[in-house]
Amino acid sequence: MNFGSIDGKKMEAEIMEAELVLPNYLSFKRIQMYDKYPKGQSRGRHWKHLKQIIQAENYQNYPPDEPNYVNIESPPSMRPCKRICDITGYEAPYYDPKTNLRYANTDVFKMIRSLPNEHVQRYLAMRNAAIVLK
């Protein structure tokens, strides 16, 4: 018990010194955090994701030549896609129809055939090609 309190004091001192924790009351604020978001009240989600924000912007109601967050987005590339081996990063002339992985040579092929399915899916997920069950 005694040890605990010493530990607690030491901890407090260390944290205080680093001023790690954001204070609850800040004089320069007109509305304090605890007033804005009172404790113990479930507020639910009070923010929108970017997708919802964009939807709410109703960009379709504005002239298309006026730049906005959506229409400044880049188009897909016109260049032929460089295909690289999912494992090694070398140029990948081959593709394994069983795992859908691209591979560079026979050694890599042997390796991907011995990979557990979870790893295969993680490799595929990196280029957004994994099977997603919904």
Could you say which of 3, 44, 61, 81 contacts other proteins (CB under 8 A)? 81
Residue 103 φ/ψ, nearest 5 degrees: -145, 160
Least Å from the CB of residue 106 to other proteins: 13
Q: Is 22 helix (H, G, I), strand (E, B) or coil?
A: coil
* Binding flag, residue 8, other proteins (CB under 8 A): yes
Beta bridge partners of 129: none
CA distance 134 to 127: 18
Least Å from the CB of residue 103 to other proteins: 12
* Binding flag, residue 116, other proteins (CB under 8 A): yes
96, 89 contact by CB (below 8 A): no
Q: State which residue, 98 or 134, has the beta carbon closest to other proteins.
A: 98
Kindly identify the residues of this chain, within the stretch 13-72, that bind other proteins according to CB under 8 A.
Answer: 14-15, 18-23, 26-31, 33, 36-37, 46-50, 53-54, 56-57, 65-69, 72
CA distance 126 to 109: 19
